[in-house]
Structure 1
């Protein structure tokens, strides 16, 4: 099976704070075909996201698709609250990197 990195299909992959205890990840696509390919790949599940980010499955609080917006949203608990000693990304904007290389299987016709 052929796979490609998520970054080759998505137009935007970003992370940001969703309050002091949560991070949210946005994956946005230029067209419905790319969105459908990624969403239907089954790679956006709580177990898969937990493994990708090295957290317990219960740290992933939600995953949902926004078909009209051609986007996927993932929310997870921060490992440390925003601003706590030892926390290294106050704005949560550098946490999306593992998503860039997420292998997405391509349908071969």
Structure 2
């Protein structure tokens, strides 16, 4: 087993507008990408569990074979920059993904 942090070349999160956060995971090697993709670990149940989300707040999980990467987009708890927002840029939300075992 390996953790996603060890397999991915880029693992980042950012705003996808003021109401969504997106996480990009890109790989240097196709075999690492397909290992993750084919494992089935990246799915609605897992993402909702590690982010403590209800399924209606998960917007999408999209694999891009041509880019050897995938993207996860979810609704923010509060809009970017509003009172109670702890991460205006959404730049610190990828951490739970880094720890996933594949």
TM-score band, normalised by shorter chain: over 0.9
TM alignment of 1:20-99, pairs within 5 A: 20-99=18-97
Deviation at residue 12 of structure 1 after TM alignment: 0.6
Q: Report the secondary structure of 2:84's partner residue.
A: coil
Deviation at residue 46 of structure 1 after TM alignment: 1.1
Alignment TM-score, normalising by the size of structure 2? 0.97
Deviation at residue 69 of structure 1 after TM alignment: 0.5
Name the count of aligned residue pairs.
Answer: 102
Unpaired runs of at least 5, structure 1: 105-109
Deviation at residue 97 of structure 1 after TM alignment: 0.5
Deviation at residue 4 of structure 1 after TM alignment: 1.2
Q: Measure, in 2, the Cα distance between the counterparts of 1:15 and 1:9.
A: 17
Whose radius of gyration is greater, 1 or 2?
A: 1
Q: Measure, in 1, the Cα distance between the counterparts of 2:77 and 2:3.
A: 25
Give the match for residue 17 of structure 1: 15
Give runs of ≥4 in structure 1 deviating > 2 Å. none
Deviation at residue 24 of structure 1 after TM alignment: 0.3
CA-based RMSD of the aligned residues comes to: 0.7
Deviation at residue 51 of structure 1 after TM alignment: 0.4
